[in-house]
Amino acid sequence: MASITSFNQFSYTIKSKTFQHPQFGTKVSNSAVNFTDFGLKKPLQSSISIKESSKKRPGFVVLVAAGDDYGPEEEAAGVAVAEEPQPKEPREIDILKKRLVDSFYGTDRGLNASSETRAEVVELITQLEAKNPTPAPTEALTLLNGKWILAYTSFIGLFPLLSRGTLPLVKVEEISQTIDSEAFSVENVVQFAGPLATTSITTNAKFEVRSPKRVQIKFEEGVIGTPQLTDSIELPESVELLGQKIDLNPVKGLLTSVQDTASSVAKSISSRPPLKFSLSNRNAESWLLTTYLDDELRISRGDGGSIFVLIKEGCPLLKP
């Protein structure tokens, strides 16, 4: 019987035949392992040649080590690396919404919009309405829920409020509409800011569903909020009143004494309850037709074809 040391003098050559993987079509050929020393006094030498698969698995790259030396218990390992996902292209509807919101810039909710801007707004709204993802808004009342900020309107009834010529030194900070679909209620709020205080006018209403897109709104009461005094008084350099420009610089020296007086009466004013008044007349009704609705944007048409574009509070579309 031959001893183990006698095996060290033999030389082994192991050849593998070329084969093709039945699923991936990978070909392997010319594999050879030479054992010049069965006692492993010298490192094993291997040569592995792998041809590219004829069927590639998408999204993965397989790395194979070739020509490396392995010990008796070491194995060549493949490493799978996933490719980085490609950034998503913006949808056409998202592009249209961004263009629509951008067209509102400098219009003061539509008050100062030029005829060209109004035409552009109408065109973009028409394109969005054709792609409305919620064809029956009154059947998706949960989307209507929440606070919506008015971004644009063609309703001329709001223009006197937006114009400073009507209320000198007072500007509209925000116009919003809050809908509660469980209580079928609507709350419209206009927030005003002046040099001394801020206040709001609120109208509360109930709505009824009349069609998949239309609701009937009946106003019940109005509320004038308690004025909240500001910490400091800021007056503009001038103001236009009845067609005349009035310079306000001479009165700015009086601000200190006015602020002292305002702080002394702040507690008495803030302790008074809001003033409520009834809106039970026949003219306290209107209807709204929602022609576009998603979780960010709402477009409605009212009496006389007026357009209202509202953006959900907290939505990125509200950011400049």
pLDDT beyond 80 at 260 = no
pLDDT band at 284 (very low <50, low <70, confident <90, very high): confident
pTM exceeds 0.85 for this model: no
Q: What is the pLDDT of residues 12-68, one digit of tens each?
A: 444 445 545 454 454 544 444 444 444 444 444 444 444 444 444 444 444 444 444
Report the alpha-carbon distance of residue 236 to residue 239 in Å, rounded: 7
C-alpha gyration radius of the chain: 38
Q: Is the pLDDT of residue 186 over 90?
A: yes
What is the pLDDT averaged over residues 63-90?
55
- pLDDT, residue 215, reads 94
Q: Which of 24-28, 145-149, 225-229 has the highest mean pLDDT?
A: 145-149
Secondary structure of the chain in the HEC alphabet? CCCHHHHCCCCEEEECCCEECCCCCCEEEEEEEEECCCCCCCCCEEEEEECCCCCCCCCEEEECCCCCCCCCCCCCCCEEEECCCCCCCCCHHHHHHHHHHHHCCCCCCCCCCCHHHHHHHHHHHHHHHHCCCCCCHHHCHHHHCEEEEEEEECCHHHHHHHCCCCCCCCEEEEEEEEEECCCCEEEEEEEEECCCEEEEEEEEEEEEECCCCEEEEEEEEEEECCCEECCCCCCCCEEEECCEEEECHHHHHHHHHHHHHHHHHHHHHHCCCCEEEECCCCCCEEEEEEEEECCCEEEEECHHHCEEEEEECCCHHHCC
Give the contacts of 107 (CB within 8 A, at least 6 positions apart): 113, 117, 152
Per-residue model confidence (pLDDT) at position 97: 96
What structural domains and CATH numbers belong to the chain? 4-82 (no CATH), 92-231+273-318 (2.40.128.280)
CA distance 87 to 76: 35
pLDDT at 250: 67
Instruction: Give the rounded percent of residues in the chain with a pLDDT score beyond 90.
Output: 38
Q: Give the pLDDT of residue 259.
A: 57
Q: State the residue for tokens 């223009």.
A: 159
